[in-house]
Structure 1
Amino acid sequence: MKGLAINKQQKWLRFLLPFPVGVVVYVLILLVFDTLNQFSSNFFSQEVAVTIVLAFILMEALRTLLNAIDKRFPLVSELPFDNEEAHGVSGITHSLRIVLIPLVSLLISVMIITPLVSIYFYSVLIISDFNTELVVFNGVYGIVAILYGIIHVSTSFLAVHKQIHYRQEKELRRGMESDLEKFKMQINPQLLYEGLENLISIVHAQPRMAEQFINQLSKIYRYNLDHRHVELVELKKELELSKTLLYLLNVKHNNAIMLELNLTEESLHRQVIPCTISVLIQELVNRTIINEFQPLHICLEIKDGELYLVSRHNPKIGLNGSAEWNLSLINNAHAFLNDNKQLKVVQNQQYLHINIPLFEIEEE
């Protein structure tokens, strides 16, 4: 429907534009012959109608010809993908087009105006000596044709630029969507490997616990599958997944990992990217020394409307206590929804703080 409305606007513009153009041409011709004082008395005269008709015929001819040139020699052979450049078509380069189109427009103007003006003077005005008038008509309409060609070239370049920009934005969005999918699925491989190792160690000694372990592990993968095409979920659902993850991790760490929630009821209904908290908890567990003498206490709390993950800073020796968290993938996933919302890790000798962006869905 929108494209149909644009076509109707262009159609009306094609019929309306020759009127002001014809009047301007008539005024310019009067100025050349120094007879502008005749304009008020001859405003609705035959000469004005002729200039309007000539303007309409010329502009329609130029529009048809220039559109045909654009189809035969398009600005680009194909729209670029991502960071690729547009491939020009051999035959008419961009620089040559800027010069060639106005010249072609001028040539078409002379070819159309000359016979039409000649017919008008011979048949209507019955005048045989009109060389001066013919030169003036060709000069004024030539200027109109050149301006028309320049405007056509400008709008063509602008339209192609918009198409290229749109394609690049589309490819960028596709890349962000890919980062989002990678982030939501990155918890799977390592968790599966560790989960199977733990399952092997308990399957014979504690069959009932092994059955429950399998159920909890399946919940995580079911959650990932159910939310693989979902951009945001409620924080409440994400916390349920985190508790399931902690159950699996505590099998290996002998219940030395604890999760404390200091959240408001309102915050539970705010939105978060699926698996954000789970990925951070798993990364934190992998980076921290955990045993019965040094348990890991994780606290999720709300401060100034932001969600924070807080724990004691007890990094493994291999990290030297200064290794940076690699948040590029998770931040790219958040950039897909909002560039301003990024994760930040602040750590000192005692505590580790990670802010987790929350989103609110506005109801229309």
Structure 2
Amino acid sequence: MTLDTVKKLFVHHPLFRLLSPLFSGTLVYLLILLINNNIGQLQETFLGQELYVCIGLAYLIQEYARLSLLWFERWSQPRNFVLKLVLHLIGSVVIGIGLVSAAIYLYFTYVLGYTPNHRELFIFNSIFSLITLIYLVLYLSYQFLYKVNTELITGEILAKEEIEADFRRFKKGINPELLFESLESLLVLMKKDTNRAELLCDHFSSVYRYMLARKKRELVPFLEELNVLNELLQLLAYLPYRKITLGRVGVTDTWIIPGSLLTVVERIIRSTIVSPEAHLTFDILEDSDRILIQYVPEEVLRGGFHTERLSDIAGSYQFYTDKPVQVVVKEPLKIVEIPKLKLDENSHY
């Protein structure tokens, strides 16, 4: 528990610090009268000097116990919590006894005119040591309650993040924009050319079957995703985007996160100016540790293609490699760099 959290404990509240010693000091005074069989004095001198002394001692001990909680939290040694708590307990009680003994000795010597005996010191020290222990128990109870609540809140936050991540994966797998565009094109083709409509359905089903099934796999071979990419390119040919041509493919056997290649290519296409006459050609090459998707950009004026648009893919790759997913400009080319991944022989993809 941090020092700021300890400072939020109710014993540090100004109102509690002001009122609590009044009640605890009064209670100590009543206990001392009860122990000394002087309860009959209540009717005569309840607001006597001894009551004010007990309240003053209560202020002294409670302020000391409060400050000891802050000191205790600053200690870095020992690291073992139980040992640290025992040392704090012993130290607080010993110092508290010293403070009470000194205060009682000064009061008896300079105010009452005689030295307190051992019985009187024992009574005062026992009661005020109990008050110190109560403070420590309050701190310990608060600490364990804080720990339990923190674990519960952390669990709820993790559960919420997991639900949000599942929703993002579900939305990414469904890809509603591509879904509705494909269905709209299908509705148009069904009235004009049923054969082409059937081909669109074939490409659409191939792409979406892969997109929905990929959640069960962590990694896929590059060539498997490349085959689905060809289906995606043929599907996009039916949509109102620039015609796409896959140029050179020079990637050997490697592994990628399923859907990453499809997502990159689709976002490249959506960031390119629509033109029925022009074509967009991109090459998929490699170097020692990266897959390079390069093309000559002709981007829309709003929403160009840049590294920030690949943040979701980059987040997925962080689980497997320290190498970044990024967009690099090397005139006249724009290059998307995706790290190569190796499959552990003991893993199940």
Q: TM-score range by the shorter chain?
A: 0.5 to 0.7
Does 2:96 align with 1:96? no
Deviations 1:296-346 (A, max 9, x none): 32222222312221112233xxx24x8532765641354266386654222
Taking the aligned partners of 2:276 and 2:232, their CA distance within structure 1 comes to 19
User: What does 1:61-76 align with in structure 2 at a 5 Å threshold?
Assistant: none
How far apart are 1:351 and its partner, in Å?
1.0
Residues 182 and 204, structure 2, Cα contact 8 Å, conserved in 1? no
Q: Secondary structure at the match of 2:298?
A: coil
Please name the residue that 1:354 is paired with: 336
Q: Secondary structure at the match of 1:227?
A: helix
Residues 334 and 341, structure 1, Cα contact 8 Å, conserved in 2? no
How far apart are 1:353 and its partner, in Å?
0.6
Taking the aligned partners of 2:335 and 2:235, their CA distance within structure 1 comes to 24
Does 2:226 align with 1:239? yes
Does 2:147 align with 1:147? no
Residues 177 and 333, structure 1, Cα contact 8 Å, conserved in 2? no
How many residues end up aligned between the 2 structures?
249
How far apart are 1:348 and its partner, in Å?
5.1
Please name the residue that 1:211 is paired with: 198
Amino acid at match of 1:338: Q
Residues 256 and 290, structure 1, Cα contact 8 Å, conserved in 2? no
Q: Which of 306, 309, 312 is the matching residue for 1:332? A: 312
Question: Where in structure 2 are there 5+ consecutive unaligned residues?
Answer: 1-7, 37-117
Taking the aligned partners of 2:156 and 2:126, their CA distance within structure 1 comes to 45
Please name the residue that 2:262 is paired with: 278
Taking the aligned partners of 1:314 and 1:263, their CA distance within structure 2 comes to 25
Q: Percent of aligned positions with the same letter in both sequences?
A: 13
User: Could you tell me the TM-score, scaled by structure 1's length?
Assistant: 0.52
Taking the aligned partners of 1:202 and 1:257, their CA distance within structure 2 comes to 26
Amino acid at match of 1:308: L
User: Could you tell me the TM-score, scaled by structure 2's length?
Assistant: 0.54
- Greater relative contact order (Cα < 8 A, sep 6+): 1
Residues 307 and 357, structure 1, Cα contact 8 Å, conserved in 2? yes
Amino acid at match of 1:245: L
Q: Are residues 161 and 198 of structure 1, via their aligned partners in 2, closer, same or farther at CA, if it must alter by over 3 Å?
A: closer
Q: Which of 252, 257, 264 is the matching residue for 1:264? A: 252
Deviations 1:82-126 (A, max 9, x none): xxxxxxxxxxxx5535566998xx89x98xx99xx99xxxxxxxx
User: What does 1:110-129 align with in structure 2 at a 5 Å threshold?
Assistant: none
How far apart are 1:257 and its partner, in Å?
1.2
Taking the aligned partners of 1:169 and 1:341, their CA distance within structure 2 comes to 26
Amino acid at match of 1:271: I
Q: Which of 232, 235, 239 is the matching residue for 1:248? A: 235
Please name the residue that 1:175 is paired with: 164
Amino acid at match of 1:260: R
How far apart are 1:244 and its partner, in Å?
0.7
Residues 220 and 256, structure 2, Cα contact 8 Å, conserved in 1? yes
Residues 180 and 333, structure 1, Cα contact 8 Å, conserved in 2? no
Residues 300 and 307, structure 1, Cα contact 8 Å, conserved in 2? yes
Q: Secondary structure at the match of 2:284?
A: strand
Residues 195 and 217, structure 1, Cα contact 8 Å, conserved in 2? no
Question: Where in structure 1 are there 5+ consecutive unaligned residues?
Answer: 1-93, 119-128
Q: Secondary structure at the match of 2:164?
A: helix
Residues 232 and 271, structure 1, Cα contact 8 Å, conserved in 2? yes
Taking the aligned partners of 1:254 and 1:131, their CA distance within structure 2 comes to 97
How far apart are 1:245 and its partner, in Å?
0.8
Q: Are residues 190 and 292 of structure 1, via their aligned partners in 2, closer, same or farther at CA, if it must alter by over 3 Å?
A: closer
